[in-house]
């Protein structure tokens, strides 16, 4: 197949998948085929536990198997293995996908986040409009996930979580991004956005074994498709991006989390653009004041100063921009470097967050790189990239001082070539 033909087919596939993502939760079919062991199926979200484990939501996007899953990957084990000499019996490092501690999810599992102390994980499930909470007990030698009322893991592959303690039934449709925020009084909140809703829901998340989650309040952006959310640890101001607005203005929304349900939602239109209808990613720089925003159409990363002015509102001073990729997907930060994934280009871009310049790009990470999380341990700095289109996890060198910066160190999972399907 020619390059052009391949790309056309690829665009078609991506368009179909994107269209499918807009459909209401319709996957009642459960063919009863369990997901293959030690594998990934349309991996989407990823979070890294500092003890050396990656939690990966496998969305089961084509509904091929009976359920989605949250897989656990042993990063410390991978690091300890000799990556220069792949095991011929396990060339895809599948033995490090720890099915025995992974759990099942309803279809279209999306984001996964960990609390700051690493004791709790939250996963958004788009099909059932739920957030799944999991207790995490991880150490150097093992990890346990618990999301069962009985506090005993059911004796079956990829057991589903149960009980009001662990399953949050959300008010709006299609939850997408989550932010867990710890408060000074020891409580914890989850901020949830919705791809098919206009709201941001704020839930009280229990930090002890007895409590139950509960909706604290919700704020309405009045624009469909709240996407990503970033909350400044410095000012408490939350910024929400918007994925499917009616206007061609690339809007973002912000509110003061310290005001709780009294907060007023403000809208900022970034650009007037014929195609401009998706603000995608939002991440704060380490200073908690510089906000990086990833936008589609125009495809760029922009930087804004959110330092409050005399009126208490963010100054929204424009600080710079970098053109990134073609239809960029997601934004993450490590130190002073922002990483942008671009599923359509199979690329990752690294941008200096201080001087606002592209410092490196890699176009052949994997097929469909989507989310990226980071793990620093000993002398390695890894970026863990979920490769949506080929069912793998790419491990990338993200040490900026390394000559192999953005080189793929290893791949976890057997790649699937969907262009041939």
Min CB(319)–another protein separation in Å: 6
Beta strands 188-194 and 167-169, pairing class? unpaired
Min CB(271)–another protein separation in Å: 6
Helix, strand and coil percent figures for the chain, each rounded to 5: 10, 45, 45
Q: According to CB under 8 A, which one of 66, 99, 171, 273 is a site residue for another protein?
A: 273
Give dist(CA 412, CA 380) in Å, integer.
17
1 binds another protein (CB under 8 A): yes
Site size toward another protein (CB under 8 A) is: 46
271 binds another protein (CB under 8 A): yes
Give dist(CA 304, CA 297) in Å, integer.
18
Min CB(18)–another protein separation in Å: 18
Give dist(CA 377, CA 324) in Å, integer.
29
Q: Which of 225, 270, 280 is nearest to 250 (CA)?
A: 270
> Is residue 73 a contact partner of residue 53, using CB atoms and an 8 Å limit?
yes
Min CB(362)–another protein separation in Å: 10
Min CB(343)–another protein separation in Å: 11
**H or E segment to which residue 180 belongs:** strand 175-182
247 binds another protein (CB under 8 A): no
361 binds another protein (CB under 8 A): yes
Q: What is the dihedral of CA 316, 321, 325, 328, to 10 degrees?
A: -10
Binders in 366-405 for another protein, by CB under 8 A: 366-367
Min CB(247)–another protein separation in Å: 12
The tokens describing 345, both together, are 């280009």
207 binds another protein (CB under 8 A): no
Min CB(21)–another protein separation in Å: 21
Q: According to CB under 8 A, which one of 6, 12, 169, 309 is a site residue for another protein?
A: 6
Q: According to CB under 8 A, which one of 86, 248, 376, 409 is a site residue for another protein?
A: 248
283 binds another protein (CB under 8 A): no
Q: According to CB under 8 A, which one of 142, 149, 272, 402 is a site residue for another protein?
A: 272
Q: According to CB under 8 A, which one of 137, 144, 220, 363 is a site residue for another protein?
A: 363
Q: According to CB under 8 A, which one of 43, 213, 251, 325 is a site residue for another protein?
A: 325
**φ and ψ at 354, to 5 degrees?**
-95, -45
Residues 6+ apart with CB under 8 A from 134: 70, 103, 120, 121, 122, 123, 145, 146, 147, 161, 166
- Please list, residue by residue across 49-68, b when 16 or more beta carbons sit within 10 angstroms of its beta carbon and e when fewer do: bebbbbbbbbbbbebebbbb
Binders in 328-357 for another protein, by CB under 8 A: 345-347, 352, 355-357
Q: Which of 91, 72, 67 is nearest to 81 (CA)?
A: 91
Q: According to CB under 8 A, which one of 22, 364, 402, 407 is a site residue for another protein?
A: 364
52 binds another protein (CB under 8 A): no
Identify the residue whose tokens are 């004791």: 119
7 binds another protein (CB under 8 A): yes
> Is residue 276 a contact partner of residue 295, using CB atoms and an 8 Å limit?
yes
Nearer to another protein by Cβ, of 136 and 350: the residue is 350
- 123: how many CB neighbours lie within 10 A of its CB? 27
Q: Which of 198, 238, 190 is nearest to 214 (CA)?
A: 190
Q: According to CB under 8 A, which one of 85, 140, 264, 274 is a site residue for another protein?
A: 274
Region binding another protein by CB under 8 A among candidate stretches 145-153, 162-170, 189-197, 266-274 = 266-274
Give dist(CA 227, CA 278) in Å, integer.
9
> Is residue 200 a contact partner of residue 181, using CB atoms and an 8 Å limit?
no
365 binds another protein (CB under 8 A): yes
Q: Which of 227, 207, 279 is nearest to 248 (CA)?
A: 279
Region binding another protein by CB under 8 A among candidate stretches 5-13, 42-50, 100-108, 130-138 = 5-13
Nearer to another protein by Cβ, of 228 and 299: the residue is 299
Binders in 291-320 for another protein, by CB under 8 A: 297-300, 305, 317-320
Min CB(323)–another protein separation in Å: 5
246 binds another protein (CB under 8 A): no
Give dist(CA 316, CA 312) in Å, integer.
12
Give dist(CA 195, CA 45) in Å, integer.
15
Min CB(359)–another protein separation in Å: 5
70 binds another protein (CB under 8 A): no
Site residues for another protein per CB under 8 A: 1-4, 6-7, 10, 248, 271-276, 297-300, 305, 317-321, 323, 325-326, 345-347, 352, 355-361, 363-367, 417, 419-420
């Amino acid at each position: 197949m020619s390059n052009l033909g391949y790309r056309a087919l690829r665009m078609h596939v991506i368009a179909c998948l994107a269209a499918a993502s807009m459909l209401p939760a319709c996957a009642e079919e459960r063919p009863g085929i369990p997901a293959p062991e030690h594998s990934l199926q349309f991996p989407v979200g990823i979070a890294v536990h500092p003890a050396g484990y990656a939690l990966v939501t496998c969305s089961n996007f084509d509904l091929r198997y009976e359920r989605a899953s949250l897989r656990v990957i042993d990063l410390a084990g991978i690091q300890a293995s000799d990556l220069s000499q792949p095991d011929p019996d396990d060339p895809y490092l599948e033995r490090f996908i720890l099915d025995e501690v992974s759990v099942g999810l309803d279809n279209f599992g999306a984001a996964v986040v960990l609390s700051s102390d690493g004791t709790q994980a939250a996963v958004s499930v788009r099909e059932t409009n739920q957030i799944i909470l999991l207790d995490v007990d991880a150490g150097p030698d093992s990890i346990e996930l618990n999301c069962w009322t009985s506090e005993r893991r059911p004796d079956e592959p990829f057991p589903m979580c149960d009980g009001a303690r662990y399953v949050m039934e959300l008010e709006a449709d299609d939850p997408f991004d989550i932010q867990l925020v710890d408060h000074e009084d020891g409580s914890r909140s989850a901020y949830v956005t919705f791809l098919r809703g206009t709201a941001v829901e704020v839930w009280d998340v229990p930090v002890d074994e007895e409590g139950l989650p509960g909706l604290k309040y919700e704020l309405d952006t009045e624009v469909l498709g709240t996407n990503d959310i970033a909350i400044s640890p410095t000012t408490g101001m939350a910024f929400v991006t918007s994925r499917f607005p009616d206007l061609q203005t690339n809007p973002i929304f912000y509110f003061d989390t310290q005001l709780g349900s009294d907060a007023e939602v403000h809208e900022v239109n970034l650009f007037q653009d014929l195609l401009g209808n998706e603000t995608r990613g939002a991440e704060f720089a380490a200073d908690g004041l510089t906000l990086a925003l990833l936008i589609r159409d125009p495809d760029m990363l922009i930087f804004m100063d959110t330092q409050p002015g005399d009126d208490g509102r963010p100054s929204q001073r424009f600080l710079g921009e970098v053109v990134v990729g073609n239809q960029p997907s997601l934004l993450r930060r490590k130190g002073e470097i922002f990483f942008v994934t671009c599923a359509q280009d199979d690329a990752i871009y690294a941008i200096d967050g201080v001087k606002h310049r592209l410092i490196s790009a890699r176009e052949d990470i994997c097929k469909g790189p989507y989310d990226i999380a980071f793990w620093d341990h000993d002398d390695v700095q890894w970026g863990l990239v979920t490769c949506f289109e080929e069912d793998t996890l790419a491990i990338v060198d993200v040490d900026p001082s390394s000559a192999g910066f953005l080189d793929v160190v290893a791949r976890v999972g057997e790649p699937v070539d969907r262009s041939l399907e």
